[in-house]
């Protein structure tokens, strides 16, 4: 490990429904990233990505942070925090402004983005994220970064992401009460996509579905910009609850059986072996066949993937997913879900492991850590905004820099 400089250390926290993951990273002299601390703790205070028990959430965050601090040998004071949940919604918007001095400046870009935000926001919601998809100058071709170009009229097509003010406040408050200052917020599906997608996929067109514990987060990319996002309130915990109810066992035992024997498609059922598991009251055990487990899991997997497919069709996004669908998150480890997705979508489907370099701990090369590692990459790219190694080019870095301002606005 290279020498660690405190000013180069940063922390990211993935506050999920089933787990809290804390990653402490350090940038090297050549702007690469080293993971120097990993903390993980069960998440007890969230449901479908939303805080429902403040004290339990604080306790979970503290436990994960303490583990990461012990491994990294530093005190964590602040962090970038991921956000998701059923309260997240999105829409596409259009803005237009005159170019005042003929040459487009950062002020003109800020004005046209503000114009795109001039929309009716539902009560209790606030705009969290404004992601420009493309710009148009004087009705000509689409461009990605108009800074320094000349014209009279500037237009933008932007993807607007909204969230419930109360839900965001509760998440930030939990982090602050756990002793962590929230430096920045990143939408979890954007982080996951950055961790598992290749540049070609983002350019040609791809959909990524992060199947977490409480929600499944969909993001669609083309031309290296976000085209559509959606949070679907069906995920891994639903599979676990279905198993617990269907087999009359405990939640803990259902989770174990899901991870060890879970299967969603007959295609991958090679042997119908017997499984021993405890009954709900814990006094005795029972024997079931894997095929019984399949009969419980398959309908829920079909429901989730069908909802995603209908979402893509309803928003006319089929032509944007030319390279296929990427499944990531802990739910993507369920046997047979890839094969089922191929049947439903009729496009190439792969499991998305984080694209980690050799020196990054191998534990992070798992779909479960796609969001956490993606947040590390997001933060690293912001820190190297003026080098050639940027997230979506200089413009996107400037846009992401504004995210901290709305975090502060909540307080």
pLDDT in the model for residue 394: 44
Phi then psi for residue 105, to 5 deg, are: -110, 175
pLDDT in the model for residue 384: 65
Contact 129, 97 (CB under 8 A): no
Mean pLDDT in consecutive groups of 10 residues from the start of the chain, 411 residues: 73 93 88 89 90 94 96 93 89 92 90 91 87 93 91 94 91 95 89 93 96 94 92 94 94 93 92 88 85 95 97 94 96 96 96 83 90 90 52 43 48 46
What is the Cα–Cα distance from 280 to 246, expressed in whole angstroms?
11
pLDDT in the model for residue 3: 65
Contact 275, 293 (CB under 8 A): yes
pLDDT in the model for residue 32: 79
* Among the listed residues 38, 44, 40, the one whose alpha carbon sits nearest the alpha carbon of residue 25: 38
What is the Cα–Cα distance from 303 to 131, expressed in whole angstroms?
30
Order of strands, sheet of 9-15, starting from the edge strand that comes earlier in the sequence: 33-42, 19-27, 9-15, 78-83, 181-187
pTM: 0.87
CATH (residue range 6-85+166-187+357-409):
3.30.420.40
And the tokens for 146? Answer: 């108009």
Q: Does domain 199-354 have CATH number 3.40.470.10?
A: no
Burial of 272 from C-beta contacts in 10 A (0-12 / 13-18 / 19+):
exposed
The full set of domain ranges for the chain reads: 6-85+166-187+357-409, 89-165, 199-354
And the tokens for 6? Answer: 């405190």
pLDDT in the model for residue 358: 63
What is the Cα–Cα distance from 341 to 267, expressed in whole angstroms?
12
Same fold, 6-85+166-187+357-409 and 199-354: yes
CATH (residue range 89-165):
3.30.1490.110
CA atoms within 13 A on the CB side of 95: 25
What does the H/E/C string look like for 86-122? CCCEEEEEEEEEECCCCECCHHHHHHHHHHHCCCCCC
And the tokens for 158? Answer: 């932007």
Residues 6+ positions from 268 with CB-CB distance below 8 Å:
335, 336, 339
């Amino acid at each position: 490990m290279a020498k660690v400089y405190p000013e180069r250390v940063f922390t990211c926290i993935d506050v999920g429904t089933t787990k809290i993951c804390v990653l402490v990273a350090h940038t090297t002299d050549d702007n690469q990233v080293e993971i120097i601390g990993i903390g993980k703790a069960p998440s007890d205070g969230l449901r479908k990505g939303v805080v429902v028990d403040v004290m339990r959430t604080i306790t979970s965050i503290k436990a994960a942070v303490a583990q990461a601090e012990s491994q990294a040998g530093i005190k964590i004071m602040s962090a970038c925090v991921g956000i998701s949940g059923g309260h997240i919604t999105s829409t596409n918007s259009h803005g237009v402004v005159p170019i005042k001095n003929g040459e487009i400046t950062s002020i003109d870009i800020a004005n046209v983005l503000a114009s795109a935000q001039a929309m009716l926001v539902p009560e209790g919601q606030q705009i969290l994220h404004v992601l420009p998809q493309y710009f148009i100058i004087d009705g000509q071709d689409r461009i990605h970064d108009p800074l320094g170009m000349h014209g009279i009229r500037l237009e933008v097509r932007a993807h607007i992401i909204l969230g419930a003010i109360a839900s965001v406040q509760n998440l930030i408050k939990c982090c602050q009460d756990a002793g962590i200052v929230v430096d920045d917020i990143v939408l979890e599906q954007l982080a996951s996509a950055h961790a598992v997608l290749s540049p070609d996929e983002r350019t040609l067109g791809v959909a990524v579905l992060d199947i977490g514990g409480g929600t499944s987060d969909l993001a669609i990319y083309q031309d290296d910009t976000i085209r559509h996002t959606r949070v679907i309130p069906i995920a891994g915990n639903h599979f676990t609850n279905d198993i617990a109810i269907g087999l009359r066992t405990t939640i803990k035992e259902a989770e174990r059986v899901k991870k060890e024997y879970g299967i969603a498609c007959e295609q991958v059922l090679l042997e119908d072996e017997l499984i021993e598991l405890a009954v709900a009251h814990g006094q005795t055990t029972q024997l079931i066949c894997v095929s019984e487990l399949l009969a419980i899991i398959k309908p829920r997997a079909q429901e989730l993937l069908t909802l995603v497919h209908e979402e893509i069709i309803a928003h006319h996004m089929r032509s944007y997913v030319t390279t296929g669908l990427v499944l990531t998150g802990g739910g993507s480890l369920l046997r047979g879900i890839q094969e089922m997705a191929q049947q439903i979508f009729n496009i190439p489907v792969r499991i998305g492991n984080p694209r980690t370099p050799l020196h990054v701990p191998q534990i992070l090369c798992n779909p479960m850590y796609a969001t956490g590692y993606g947040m590390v990459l997001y933060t690293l790219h912001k820190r190297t905004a003026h080098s050639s190694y940027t997230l979506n080019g200089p413009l996107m870095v400037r846009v992401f820099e504004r995210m901290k301002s709305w975090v502060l606005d909540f307080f």
